[in-house]
Each structure stands twice: as C-alpha cells, then as structure tokens.
Amino acid sequence: MTRHTMTIDGKQVEAGSSTAVINPATEGEAGRAPACSAAQLDAAVAAAKNAFKSWRLDEEARRQALRNAAELVQARVAEIANTLTLEQGKPLAHATGEVMGAAAQLKATAEMKIPYEVTRDDAKGKIEIIYKPYGVVAAITPWNFPILIAMSKIAPALLAGNTVVIKPSPFTPLSTLELVTAMSQALPPGVLNAVSGDNALGAQLTTHPDVRKISFTGSVPTGMKVAEVAAHDLKRTTLELGGNDPAIVLDDVDPVAIAPMLFWSSFMNSGQICTAVKRVYVPEGLFEPLVNAIAAVASQIKVGDGLDPTTQLGPINNAMQLERVIALVEDAKKRGARIHSGGSRLDRKGYFFAPTILSGVGDDVPIVAEEQFGPVLPILSYKSIDDAIERANATQYGLGASIWAKDLARAHSVAQEIDAGTVWINQHLALTANAPFGGCKHSGIGEAGGRWGLASYLQKHVINQRFV
C-alpha cells in the first residue's frame, strides 16, 4: 500500500499519527492518511504566505507551471483513479474520467485570460481595473468528487496568482494527497500545500489569520459555520453547498424515452452529487408509466465494487451516510411509501444500497424535503404546472433543476420560474466552462466554473489617474 504524505512547502511530509481511510466496498482499509498537527497546519499556511510574494508576480511563469503540472497529473491518472475508487467507491471508469477531467481542466485553465479593463482613457485621465489575487486560499472539499472539486479550486486560484492550502474530506483524502504530490513537482515550494485531517482541521484552517479567502464545498450546515467564522475576519468566501434538485416532467414527454436519462441524472455516483435529481414531479396522467419505466431501469443496474469493470453503481461512501439513507427510506416506508425497486441495503459486506424508486409520499416527508444524498428517487404527481413550480421552489435549496418536455418554448417559460442556480432542459448534471455553476438560497454563495470561477479568486484593484 502506498504511504501517503502531505505536501507542505514543497516537501512530502508525514505526521505524528495517521487515521484509517475505509474502502466502502469492503469495509477494510483503503490506506492511512497523516493526521496534520496544528504546527504542521501553521507551517503550510506560512509556506503559502511566503510563496505568494513571488508567485503573484509572473503570470507567464504561472501558466507554464500549470501546463507542466497538468502533464504530471496526466501521467498519473491510472494511479490516482485507482486510489479514488478505493476510498470513494465509484466505478473505476468514472474515477478515471474524474482524474482525466481534472487534468484537462488544469490544462485549459492555464490558457485562460486574467481580466484587465480600461473604463476611461482620454486627454484628462485613465481608469484601469486590475484583477489581483487575494493571497493564501484555503480550499476545503467533500467526499463525492474529491479530485474534480479540488481542481475546480486549485487551478483558477493558482492561475490568478494566489497560493493554496487544500484540506480534503477525511473520508477521501488519499487521492487528493496524490494529486498534490504530483502537481507540486512542477510548482515552486509553498505554492500548493495539502494537509489531511478531521473536521477540526478544517475549522483551524478557516480561522487561520493568514488565510484571505476560503473556497468551501460541502453541506449547508458546515457552510454556515464557515461563513460565521469567516465573518469575524471578513475573509472572502465562496460556498458551494447542498442541493435538493427537482425535475419537472411536462405532459408531452414519452416516459419510456426519458426514463434512462432521468435515472442517470439521479443515480450517477450513487446519487452522491450535490446537483443530482432528488425529486421528480410528474403530471397525474403520466405518473404510472413513468414510475414503471424508471423502476425498470433501476432494477437492471449492477451495483458492486468499483474495481469490478461490470459495476455500474458503487457503494455509498461511508457508514454514516449509509445509515442516513437507510433511516430516510425506512421512515418513508412507515409513512406509506410504495417501493417500486430496491428499498434496502444489499445483503453483503460494503456500504451498498439498492437503487430505490419510491412514490406515495408527500413533499413534507424527509426523503423529499431534505437532501438525502443517496441512491433513492421519490416520484411525486402534480395536478397543474403551477402546483409543480410552487412545490419545486418550496425549499431552502436552490442549486439545480430540470424541465423535461417536447415543447421547448413551454419548458423555457417553466425554467424561468424555478429558483435555482442552473435549470437544465431535457438534461441534468451538464456542467460546462461556458457557464457559472452556483446556487441560490441556501445552496451557496458565489460561483465556480469558467471565467466566473476564475473571477472568484481575483479582487478588483482600481487605478484612477488624472493627467496633469
């Protein structure tokens, strides 16, 4: 088993103690992660602060370093993807896609333009808007897409001229440690540091006085804690938080035709996606055919160890999350839910839960009202489109949503009524560098992706000259 190390000031560092990372497919150890001490965290932030002095100065050198780092990640895709599957559970093909996607994002980010604007330039004066980095960025990531989310922070933060200390989730730290080890060979010491530890380490990082910006992805309750501590020091924050995405099906669709896409929009990564479809609203007339069509897809899915190439869905990532999904489904059953496929944990070692389609519950039942973050999809019927829109919006979440229809004009007008950062039409989960990705209401503050994501790591600096 590879010995995993943190990256602090360009060096590979162990800690006085380490913690086990559990493989959710076997419940055995996937590896051990160093438990970063308070002194090591201080050293990481100090290294980042020191490296910032020169890293911020030479944009062309940064671009070249990021290109080189992308090559190093590309060379280690297989190794990092294998670790990702071992600790996260997702099928190896998906893990490989995730690491390749991260390398591609790094490569593309290296070529992005840093904005510079001149809003006045005449005989009397000139106004320039220069975009400058913040300094040390704390990047804190969850366990569902550890590598993609890490890169969505690291790449734009570094191009912008910031330096970074990243703290991955204690459930999936190993692949991030490997990613940073690979990248750091192309970067000056201190520019990119990785520390591993529990939630308390995240809290220490967010309260560190030398951190100027926090880029956090995780749950709403933790996001609120981060916002609270950031406020004491007016640290800038980007918060990418939870979701409970509705899909609204209009009455002109062919249920059998949309069922596979709707299924995967909900169950990809075993439903552990902030912006997966988490509740489907269907007109009464299409209800039975759609439920049957999605249940038919669900019952054919091969659930298993991500290292088995025939596996389509892996386990739930951790025991706590599995217990939560079990409790929500059992609660729904007690309240009269009809189970159309799945409905329980698989009778084998590992945190496996059968892909579950259920109906017969109201919007107030926790499996519908809360973010359940697992392989379960409640399907609900509606009488009128206004009723569906109102119910879709009746939550504090506002990350994504989708409308499924043949009549695109109608779908577009419904899309405009939905409170969400992104509304897809006849698709879901499609993220692109051509659009910002963020949430409204409790789903977050700020955006990732493309030039908007880059802008979140830059602050505006105005030079306003009067010619004398």
- 18 beta partners: 34
Candidate list 87, 98, 178, 240, residue with the active-site label = 240
Q: And the tokens for 333? A: 């059953």
CB of 325 to ligand NAD, least distance (A): 13
CB of 142 to ligand NAD, least distance (A): 3
CA angle, residues 294, 299, 302, in degrees to nearest 5? 120
CA angle, residues 333, 338, 342, in degrees to nearest 5? 85
Residue choice 142, 190, 375, 400 for contact with ligand NAD (CB under 6 A): 142
Residue choice 87, 371, 419, 447 for contact with ligand NAD (CB under 6 A): 371
Interface with ligand NAD in residues 38-67 (CB under 6 A): none
Q: Does residue number 143 form part of the binding site for ligand NAD (CB under 6 A)?
A: yes
- The sheet with strand 458-466 has its strands ordered as 116-121, 125-133, 458-466
Whether 98 is catalytic is: no
- Ranked by CB distance to ligand NAD, the top (closest) residue is 202
Residue choice 203, 256, 346, 433 for contact with ligand NAD (CB under 6 A): 203
Binding residues with ligand NAD: total (CB under 6 A): 29
Nearer to ligand NAD, 367 or 385 (CB): 367
CA dist., res. 81 & res. 77, Å (int):
6
For residue 415, give the amino acid letter: A
- 75 beta partners: none
Q: Does residue number 441 form part of the binding site for ligand NAD (CB under 6 A)?
A: no
84 touches 91 (CB < 8 A): no
CB of 367 to ligand NAD, least distance (A): 15
Whether 274 is catalytic is: yes
CB atoms within 10 A of CB 435: 14
SS3 268: helix
Place of tokens 């924050």: 237
Q: Which stretch binds ligand NAD (CB under 6 A): 17-25, 201-209, 380-388, 457-465?
A: 201-209
CB of 441 to ligand NAD, least distance (A): 12
Closest CA to 131 of 176, 161, 111: 161
Helices (H), 318-449: 319-334, 366-369, 385-393, 408-415
CA dist., res. 433 & res. 435, Å (int):
6
CB of 236 to ligand NAD, least distance (A): 15
241 touches 442 (CB < 8 A): yes
Candidate list 36, 274, 371, 447, residue with the active-site label = 274
CA dist., res. 75 & res. 66, Å (int):
14
Q: Which stretch binds ligand NAD (CB under 6 A): 25-33, 75-83, 162-170, 259-267?
A: 162-170
Q: Does residue number 140 form part of the binding site for ligand NAD (CB under 6 A)?
A: yes
Interface with ligand NAD in residues 315-354 (CB under 6 A): none
Q: And the tokens for 397? A: 């979440």
Give the 3-state secondary structure percentages of the chain, helix then strand then coil, rounded to 5. Answer: 40, 25, 35
Q: Does residue number 156 form part of the binding site for ligand NAD (CB under 6 A)?
A: no
466 touches 127 (CB < 8 A): no
Closest CA to 332 of 289, 291, 364: 364
Q: Which stretch binds ligand NAD (CB under 6 A): 27-35, 93-101, 134-142, 293-301?
A: 134-142
Interface with ligand NAD in residues 212-251 (CB under 6 A): 217-219, 222, 225-226, 240-243
Nearer to ligand NAD, 89 or 444 (CB): 444
Q: Tell me the C-alpha to C-alpha distance, in Å, between residue 303 and each of 208, 353, 415, 468.
A: 42, 8, 33, 73
Residue choice 141, 175, 381, 422 for contact with ligand NAD (CB under 6 A): 141
Q: Does residue number 206 form part of the binding site for ligand NAD (CB under 6 A)?
A: yes
Nearer to ligand NAD, 82 or 206 (CB): 206
Interface with ligand NAD in residues 375-404 (CB under 6 A): 399
Nearer to ligand NAD, 88 or 222 (CB): 222
Nearer to ligand NAD, 150 or 339 (CB): 150
Q: Does residue number 199 form part of the binding site for ligand NAD (CB under 6 A)?
A: yes
CB of 144 to ligand NAD, least distance (A): 5
Q: And the tokens for 9? A: 């000031």
Sign, CA dihedral 248-250-255-261, equals negative
Closest CA to 64 of 152, 186, 175, 193: 186
Q: Does residue number 274 form part of the binding site for ligand NAD (CB under 6 A)?
A: yes
- The length of the chain in residues reads 468
Catalytic residues: 240, 274
Applying CB under 6 A, the residues found at the interface with ligand NAD are: 140-144, 149, 167, 169-170, 199, 202-203, 206, 217-219, 222, 225-226, 240-243, 274, 371, 373, 399, 439, 444
